[in-house]
């Protein structure tokens, strides 16, 4: 609260905590994510319209009285179900309509770092046009869900530094923005970011920022990332993963 962040993401709909946040930072934009394991997400997408209605009902009941403190809710998170792109888009569009009817905004997709990657698997630096076409050939499946949503959520991690493979991991959102049609250019939230050794094959217990740098060095990288984000007016906010876990 001392930092008075403009954007805050929570996974716990604790009404007392959320009321404190809004009292201390009245103009804060609070995003809520309802945790849902991958198996449940897969089942929700089996029947995307019904799944969206079920999930929206769970989200609203979880929020309860805390809903007045929340500005937007996320949909599903890092599904990894790229063969279900069309169903995922249907789910996202219906979920967005239902949450809008409740007076709140939605963040679409929240794809994991570097995804969905598109059909092109070559060297994008050597063949940028082919890579761009590869993105288009895949991302168009998600247009309908994005059109109904208010924001696009993306995750951006890298290692050993956040600058490593820049624009392929961190700052990849610029490649995405480039191929979005005008009616899908929704403001972007980076709903998770930081250093994660998983992107270079490190096991979970060795993947956090402490495995790669000092606190001062990590803060310097976050400062670099912030300065880059501020160059793009369509970036709404960024959530460092994570605090309190």
> Each residue's pLDDT tens digit in the chain (245 positions)?
678 888 999 999 999 999 999 999 999 999 999 999 999 999 999 999 999 999 999 999 999 999 999 999 999 999 877 778 999 999 999 999 999 999 999 999 999 998 888 878 778 888 989 999 989 989 999 999 999 999 999 999 999 999 999 999 999 999 999 999 999 999 999 999 999 999 999 998 889 999 999 999 999 999 999 999 999 999 999 999 987 66
What's the pLDDT score for residue 57? 98
> Sign of the C-alpha dihedral, residues 9, 205, 207, 112?
negative
What's the pLDDT score for residue 4? 87
What's the pLDDT score for residue 102? 95
Write down the H helix ranges in 25-109: 38-46, 48-63, 85-101
* Bridge partners (DSSP) listed for residue 193: 156, 240
The angle subtended at Cα 108 by Cα 105 and Cα 114, nearest 5°, is: 145
What's the pLDDT score for residue 69? 95
CA gap 159, 162 in Å, rounded: 6
Residues 29-61: tens digit of each pLDDT: 999 999 999 999 999 999 999 999 999 999 999
What's the pLDDT score for residue 116? 86
What's the pLDDT score for residue 2? 78
Cβ atoms 172, 118 nearer than 8 A: no
The two most distant CA atoms of the chain are separated, in Å, by: 53
What does DSSP assign to residue 240? E
115 is written with which tokens?
A: 């995804």
219 is written with which tokens?
A: 């803060």
């Amino acid at each position: 609260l001392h930092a008075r962040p403009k954007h805050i993401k929570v996974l716990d709909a604790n009404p007392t905590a959320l009321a404190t946040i809004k009292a201390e930072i009245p103009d804060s934009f609070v995003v809520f994510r309802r945790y849902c394991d991958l198996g449940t997400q897969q089942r929700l997408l089996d029947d995307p319209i019904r799944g969206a209605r079920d999930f929206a009902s769970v989200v609203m009941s979880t929020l309860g009285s805390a809903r007045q403190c929340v500005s937007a809710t996320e949909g599903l998170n890092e599904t990894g179900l790229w063969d279900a792109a069309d169903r995922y888009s249907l789910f996202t569009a219906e979920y967005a309509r239902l949450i809008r009817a409740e007076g709140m905004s939605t963040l679409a997709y929240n794809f994991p770092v570097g995804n969905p990657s598109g059909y092109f698997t070559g060297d994008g630096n050597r063949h940028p046009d082919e890579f761009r076409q590869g993105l288009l050939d895949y991302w168009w499946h998600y247009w309908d869900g994005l059109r109904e949503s208010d924001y696009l959520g993306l995750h951006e991690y890298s290692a050993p530094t956040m600058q490593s493979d820049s624009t392929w991991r961190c700052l990849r959102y610029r490649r995405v923005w480039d191929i979005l049609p005008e009616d899908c250019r929704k403001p972007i939230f980076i709903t998770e970011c930081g250093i994660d050794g998983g992107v270079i094959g490190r096991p979970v217990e060795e993947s956090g920022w402490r495995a790669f740098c000092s606190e001062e060095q990590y803060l310097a990288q976050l400062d670099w990332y912030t300065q880059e984000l501020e160059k793009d007016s369509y970036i709404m906010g960024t959530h460092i993963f994570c605090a309190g876990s």
